[in-house]
Amino acid sequence: MLKKKEKYVVAVVGATGAVGNEMVAVLEERSFPVEKLRLFASERSEGKTLQFEGSEIPVETLNEDSFKGIDIALFSAGAEGSKIWAPVAAKSGCVVVDNSSQWRMEPDVPLVVPEVNPHDLKWHKGIIANPNCSTIQMVVVLKPIHDVARIKRVVVTTFQSVSGTGKKAMDELLQQTTDLLNFREIKCNVYPHQIAFNCLPHIDKFLENGYTKEEMKMVNETRKIMGDDSIRVTATTVRVPVFRCHSESVNIETEKKISANEVRALLAETPGVIVFDAPGKNIYPLAVDIAGKDEVYIGRIREDESIDNGINMWIVADNLRKGAALNAVQIAEKLIEMSRST
């Protein structure tokens, strides 16, 4: 477990990427008790600096001794980078919170959303996994409903922004949009098809069952985080020409009847969730409004009239914040809270 201290030496691995940048910003915004911040990225970023609390912090390249003296490391360096370096960090006595898919389904690695399953942090062995961005915003909403009415089945369709792929994808959307509006030929480098003014029902690789890896992540991660393998989940994940924020259309079937008004009241009391639901006044969550915000927003709450115990919802959250950087920092905050309560 994390040692009890007043301040901590913190590392961000993959600091120059979109999520890494956000991790540094969130640490500062939330006044995380940082004694010293160290930043790591690939060799091509060496020599760069990032601002933190008024100082310019140099970006370093990782080596076998990099994690000595570091208490907490927030990783956003991709699955391959995490596979190599997270065990090195853990062996050095550092607690790793990893944002990649590398460790999520490992039985001895907790997969944590602090509002849902903070108790799982108690059995970590040095590495803690940050869930998929789309899974995080969904389970924050599902958990209180599951506790009251027990969810039997979830059908989710996501509308995911290009920032989920990274900065190169954001640049590609901008370039394609500019080229199309200026009647120039477009180029597709990041995605297999044009993303500007288009929707791609394809996120990550296709598997033998016809689903993509992203879709199966949502299925398997939801069950692990919720601690209930009986929940049936089916997902369709779609990349849309939005720079930031993921939106989701979610349909749930519950064992016990719960009304739309009861869901609204329940979620209005749920930490980290904001009910934004007055369709008669055109009030519902929109990606353009929620970019940069920490909470998960929910609207269009209504009963599914095709089944006895069904609810439809529209869920939106900033994928770089609650879907990645913020959730990782909240895990670290929870670890500190647990260390101080023992």
**Could you give the 3-state DSSP secondary structure of residue 172?**
helix
Q: How many CB atoms lie within 10 A of CB 53?
A: 11
Identify which of 159, 184, 167 has the alpha carbon closest to the alpha carbon of residue 314: 159
Q: Which of 124, 146, 245, 246 is catalytic?
A: 246
Q: Dig out the tokens for 49 from the structure.
A: 């600096």
Are 152 and 255 within 8 A, CB to CB? yes
Q: Is the dihedral of CA 93, 94, 99, 100 positive or negative?
A: negative
CA distance 180 to 162: 18
**Could you give the 3-state DSSP secondary structure of residue 261?**
helix
Q: Dig out the tokens for 222 from the structure.
A: 């939801």
CA distance 108 to 128: 9
CA distance 189 to 248: 26
Q: Is the dihedral of CA 11, 54, 165, 113 positive or negative?
A: positive
Q: Is 246 a catalytic residue?
A: yes
Residue recorded with tokens 């939005």: 242
Q: Is 188 a catalytic residue?
A: no
Q: Which of 94, 124, 133, 146 is catalytic?
A: 133
* C-alpha angle 62-65-67 in degrees, rounded to nearest 5: 75
Are 218 and 237 within 8 A, CB to CB? yes
Complete DSSP assignment for 66-115: TTTT-SEEEE-SHHHHHHHHHHHHHHTTPEEEE-SSSSTT-TTS-B--TT
DSSP 130: P
Sheet of 49-52: strands edge to edge? 49-52, 55-61, 34-41, 8-13, 72-75, 95-98, 127-129
Determine if residue 227 is left, alpha or beta; phi over 0 gives left, psi from -120 to 50 gives alpha, anything else beta. left
Q: Known catalytic residues?
A: 133, 246
